[in-house]
Structure 1
Amino acid sequence: MHSIANQIGDLASSGERMIERLRKRAFLPESRKGLNVRFGIAEAAQLLGCSTNRIRMAEEDGRLPPAPASENGRRTGYSVDDLQNMRSVLNASPARAPLDNPAIVAVQNFKGGVGKSTVTTHLAHYFGVQGYRVLVVDCDSQATTTTLFGFNPHFNITREETLYPYLSIDPTQADLLYAVKRTPWPNVDLIPSNLELFDVEYELAAAGSDGQSVLAARFRKLKQGLQDLAKDYDIVILDPPPALGTISLAVMQAANALLVPLAATTPDFCSTVQFLSMMDQVLEQLVDAGITVDYSWVRLICSKFNANDPSHDMVRAIMEQSFGPALLPVPILDSAEISHAALRMMTVYELEKPIGTPRTHKRCRANLDEALGQIEQLVRTGWGRVERVDEELLVNG
């Protein structure tokens, strides 16, 4: 007769095999995630903040390759790689100046089910579409973000490819370069995670009498490692575990900005208040221990908001009264398009065509652009930049 431990192990193994089958089904024929999304010339011009005429002129005079076309001569649209090249040629990159500090944003809430990993991956891909250089660091041993990037944390990722060799009691890596993986996005990289990253928590908990100094050393080490890596990026997005553990504390200390997603329900509101209260106490203790924590901004964003649910409206009103301007004004709407994309281990920004109706897709994408664009403006304000101007809008008034 199976013991409970064996039964749970069997359930885990069966689930892991199913994840791998789903992954292979989603990424056929080569069982590897690709990026096939395309942008028309009008959308490309909007993303570059220039006119369609400027793109056509650059194609005509040879500075840009001819517009991609299918066999029947129709434009197929520009890939993300094409957009990156266009930004370089037309001097339209939004990248920070060399003296600007990279934004290192922790997306954190101790309440599960608030869409933390969904917000992380969509935020990364939003910044990728806009042309920024992005690094995502999955610090959560549950590895949802790693999965959404197309890696199976059980079959594709070993412990040596996570933060573990750098943060463990007996580290085998002196910097974090070893862990950086390319993703289908040319300007978005990932440090993945898997279940074995949790071993760091065990090791540090067992550090004994000098545990406090070991913890402090690990905190400073993660911060230094991320700062060294961040020199090659515009924005680093950290996805910590949804619990108050060693890794969570190290991540929150390494960040220079904090984004807190929360759903529009009373339990989520209450638990987020508890999270903020706990954060306040922990940050005081870190400062007392000589560990500096400094955020350029702290914002809350309402995720999974259903505009047709009166209770969501009520809870959001309570959030506005409680948090004031720290609550971002545009929430992320609860959309079937996000759920359908997640089933395919994708974000909405990776979809070649709508999964639901075109109207649902367009509304979802417009909302994500507006909601996540609020965070882009916070980052750019930190660099002393104003909102980017579309020259066609400027010329045409």
Structure 2
Amino acid sequence: MAEAGERMIERLRRKAFLPESRKGLNVRFGIAEAAQLLGCSTNRIRMAEEDGRLPAPPASDSGRRLGYTVEELLHMRAVLDASPARQEQDQPAIIAVQNFKGGVGKSTVTCHLAHYFAVQGYRVLVVDCDSQATTTTLFGFNPHFNITREQTLYPYLSIDPTQADLLYAVQKTPWPNVDLIPSNLELFDVEYELAAAGADGGSILATRFRKLKKGLADLARNYDVVILDPPPALGTISLAVMQAANALLVPLAATTPDFCSTVQFLSMMDQVLGQLAQAGIEVDYGFVRLLCSKFDANDPSHAMVRQIMEGTFGPALLPVPILDSAEISHAALRMMTIYELEKPIGTARTHKRCRSNLDEALAQVEQLVRRGWGRVEPLPEEAIVHAA
């Protein structure tokens, strides 16, 4: 069954990414959307095109402007001094998207968050730490056929490492400002090795925790945001990710089982972080937030559970949820996110509503990152909730 499944994934991938069987990025932005993203007027862009600082976008046979690619947007940001990139003294945001409950949309949130930051002009690194490799798949790689163990975190974290840093694992993606460290099933071997090492005293385990943090910190110097997708379970890799991150984003669906399991996750996190502190392993988060995903505004039970979440978690729960949308599911079938679609899959209205919601929900995370850099005037959390 596993072999048949892997062959089917490869067939789907080839069908989705013909002719080269490699994922491409063909999305374009009109001048009005480009101006909004850059925080300038359309006249400023047109003037830069007229005086030669910027090339005009190509036109169709009918003379209609085709819009700007992501790469062209990045060039425009450089020319017009509209880059949101952190300053040299700012600490890169290393965000772990974590919940031990499966099915909460963890990998979907990870990929959409990465692409949202990319559209906004940030340099992004995504690290797939989950041997199930859903994030790797959504980036257009087949973990079984395209990724070897030597391209994952394994050579760096194993008991007998063959790599001294993580540069070897960084893969280019179709996004010019998004890189990926992929995963595959063989990464799970690290769990066995580190668990066995921990049984012999735990010193090797503690060393590996610190090693992942150092490796990611060294790599993060080349990025603004690093997004970690750990396994949905409390294992050695998850513990290492918790310690390597400087921010935590917890996605959860608006159902009673998801709420209960997330409470257990937070309780377990509290205990684990206390134990890590006792072992001399420091964990320091700039922010910890919960993000309601797969929210159906037309389902009364979802509304009721969300009220419970708000009463329980207060301002730690981000006020704008990610709405459940068929457009996200349709995009995932093509191994894409909403930000990669050239045109709507469903109706234009559904697509616009989905994209608008994602922009608003994920902008909350961007706001937290920029607050950490001192780019946003610090406000009381109650004021942030009220403003949202």
Residue in structure 2 matched with residue 223 of structure 1 by the alignment: 213
1:164-179 equivalent positions in 2, closer than 5 A:
164-179=154-169
- Give, in whole Å, the separation in 2 of the partners of 1:181 and 1:211: 35
Shift of 1:208: 6.0
Residue in structure 1 matched with residue 334 of structure 2 by the alignment: 344
Does residue 253 in structure 1 map to residue 243 in structure 2?
yes
2:252·2:258 contact (CA, 8 Å) conserved in 1?
Answer: yes
Shift of 1:386: 2.2
2:198·2:205 contact (CA, 8 Å) conserved in 1?
Answer: no
For residues 348-368 of structure 1, the C-alpha deviation after alignment (integer angstroms, 9 at most, x for no partner) is 000000000000000000000
For residues 24-80 of structure 1, the C-alpha deviation after alignment (integer angstroms, 9 at most, x for no partner) is 000011111000000000000000001000000000000001222123321000000
Secondary structure of 1:104's partner?
Answer: strand
- Give, in whole Å, the separation in 2 of the partners of 1:244 and 1:81: 39
Match of 1:37 among 24, 27, 30: 27
Residue in structure 1 matched with residue 126 of structure 2 by the alignment: 136
Identity %: 86
Secondary structure of 1:95's partner?
Answer: coil
1:137·1:192 contact (CA, 8 Å) conserved in 2?
Answer: yes
- Give, in whole Å, the separation in 1 of the partners of 2:195 and 2:95: 26
Match of 1:372 among 347, 362, 369: 362
Does residue 313 in structure 1 map to residue 303 in structure 2?
yes
Residue in structure 2 matched with residue 7 of structure 1 by the alignment: none
Structure 2: 5+ residue stretches without partners: 378-388
Shift of 1:205: 1.6
Residue in structure 1 matched with residue 352 of structure 2 by the alignment: 362
Q: Measured at CA, do residues 208 and 341 of structure 1 come closer, stay the same or move farther in structure 2, by a change above 3 Å?
A: closer
- Give, in whole Å, the separation in 2 of the partners of 1:246 and 1:155: 26
For residues 93-113 of structure 1, the C-alpha deviation after alignment (integer angstroms, 9 at most, x for no partner) is 000011000000000000000
Residue in structure 2 matched with residue 390 of structure 1 by the alignment: none
- Give, in whole Å, the separation in 1 of the partners of 2:376 and 2:242: 27
Residue in structure 1 matched with residue 376 of structure 2 by the alignment: 386
Does residue 97 in structure 1 map to residue 95 in structure 2?
no
Amino acid corresponding to residue 59 of structure 1 in structure 2? E
Amino acid corresponding to residue 327 of structure 2 in structure 1? E
Residue in structure 1 matched with residue 117 of structure 2 by the alignment: 127
1:214-293 equivalent positions in 2, closer than 5 A:
214-293=204-283
- Give, in whole Å, the separation in 1 of the partners of 2:30 and 2:199: 61
- Give, in whole Å, the separation in 1 of the partners of 2:232 and 2:308: 23
Secondary structure of 1:135's partner?
Answer: strand
1:109·1:261 contact (CA, 8 Å) conserved in 2?
Answer: yes
1:37·1:351 contact (CA, 8 Å) conserved in 2?
Answer: yes
Residue in structure 1 matched with residue 45 of structure 2 by the alignment: 55
The CA RMSD over aligned residues, in Å, is 0.8
In the TM superposition, structure 1's runs of 4+ consecutive aligned residues that sit over 4 Å from their partners are: none
- Give, in whole Å, the separation in 2 of the partners of 1:324 and 1:49: 32
- Give, in whole Å, the separation in 2 of the partners of 1:124 and 1:372: 10
Amino acid corresponding to residue 232 of structure 1 in structure 2? N
2:327·2:350 contact (CA, 8 Å) conserved in 1?
Answer: yes
- Give, in whole Å, the separation in 2 of the partners of 1:156 and 1:376: 32
Residue in structure 2 matched with residue 180 of structure 1 by the alignment: 170
Residue in structure 2 matched with residue 328 of structure 1 by the alignment: 318
Match of 2:180 among 176, 190, 194: 190
Residue in structure 2 matched with residue 21 of structure 1 by the alignment: 11
- Give, in whole Å, the separation in 2 of the partners of 1:205 and 1:324: 37
- Give, in whole Å, the separation in 1 of the partners of 2:263 and 2:330: 31
Secondary structure of 1:322's partner?
Answer: helix
2:105·2:293 contact (CA, 8 Å) conserved in 1?
Answer: yes
- Give, in whole Å, the separation in 2 of the partners of 1:370 and 1:189: 24
For residues 229-273 of structure 1, the C-alpha deviation after alignment (integer angstroms, 9 at most, x for no partner) is 000000000000000000000000000000000000000000000
- Give, in whole Å, the separation in 2 of the partners of 1:157 and 1:345: 16
- Give, in whole Å, the separation in 2 of the partners of 1:51 and 1:92: 12
Secondary structure of 1:206's partner?
Answer: helix
- Give, in whole Å, the separation in 1 of the partners of 2:284 and 2:84: 25
Residue in structure 2 matched with residue 147 of structure 1 by the alignment: 137
- Give, in whole Å, the separation in 2 of the partners of 1:266 and 1:209: 36
Q: Measured at CA, do residues 365 and 253 of structure 1 come closer, stay the same or move farther in structure 2, by a change above 3 Å?
A: same
Does residue 353 in structure 1 map to residue 343 in structure 2?
yes
- Give, in whole Å, the separation in 2 of the partners of 1:81 and 1:70: 19
